[in-house]
Amino acid sequence: MFKQHVLGNHTVLSHPKYTSQITLDWFDANFWQKQNKIVGAKKGRATAWFFKQDNLTAVLRHYWRGGLVGKLLSDQYLYPGLEQTRVYKEFSLMSKLIELGLNVPAPIAAKITRSGLIYRGDIITEAVKGAKSLLDILIKRPLTQDELERIAKTIALFHSKGVYHADLNINNILFDDTGDVYIIDFDRGEIKTPNTQWQQSNMARLERSFLKEQGRNESFHWQASDWQTLHSNYLKAPANV
């Protein structure tokens, strides 16, 4: 499924296609900047760096803690054993989702750096071609009925496979350059037994994110009827979509 090797206090996970190319430098944004290979950045709680290497356009993301704990510990996590780290869990989950044929970015590599009882982490995923998040779109124009239906069917498909997303929001749902829907950022995600309770909780979180962004953006093309369309299409999507 993926390769794993140890370099000093670093454990590197990698997609077999890229194993021979990947060095520790790949996880350093400065390394790519010095070669003028940074092609974009997405600002958020943490910056995600987009870089281009040969035919690969990828996204490098460092793991940062959120909330009050994050102000104290920033990027430090208690080491629970390799397979229990957030980095290993996300990388292996994304590898599994690719195997299931779901629209997620391909995982390229990840790094877990251990120092005593703590670890830090980074992950590299393939960039979604021509990606536009729902937020990007809604700031400019409303979603079409067809787009709302495609979003609903994609989420329903993920849910039917038991895929739980810990932070399903409009920044983590993208359209690629052909109009296909992708879901990104599976930190703390997992595969669970399908259950209406967690699935409804996922959808409620998504609805809150539409309302939250509507409140903070002057231009935001969203109304209650759009959510009704999306949600009704989600409910009526067949189990295998």
> What is the number of other CB atoms lying within 10 angstroms of the CB of residue 176?
16
pLDDT at position 241 over 60? no
CB 60 within 8 A of CB 32: yes
> What is the number of other CB atoms lying within 10 angstroms of the CB of residue 34?
11
- pLDDT tens by residue, 97-146: 999 999 999 999 999 999 999 999 999 999 999 999 999 999 999 999 99
> What is the number of other CB atoms lying within 10 angstroms of the CB of residue 90?
25
Instruction: Name the β-bridge partners of 182.
Output: 174
pLDDT at position 71 over 90? no
Q: Place domain 132-236 in its CATH homologous superfamily.
A: Transferase(Phosphotransferase) domain 1 (1.10.510.10)
Catalytic machinery residues: 167
- Residue listed under structure tokens 């021979």: 20
- pLDDT tens by residue, 3-25: 999 999 999 999 999 999 999 99
User: Where in the chain are the domains?
Assistant: 3-126, 132-236
Q: Can you give the pTM of this predicted structure?
A: 0.93
DSSP β-ladder status, 10-14 and 3-7: antiparallel
- Nearest-angstrom CA–CA distance, 239 and 68: 40
Average pLDDT of 74-81?
94
CB 171 within 8 A of CB 135: yes
- Nearest-angstrom CA–CA distance, 84 and 187: 12
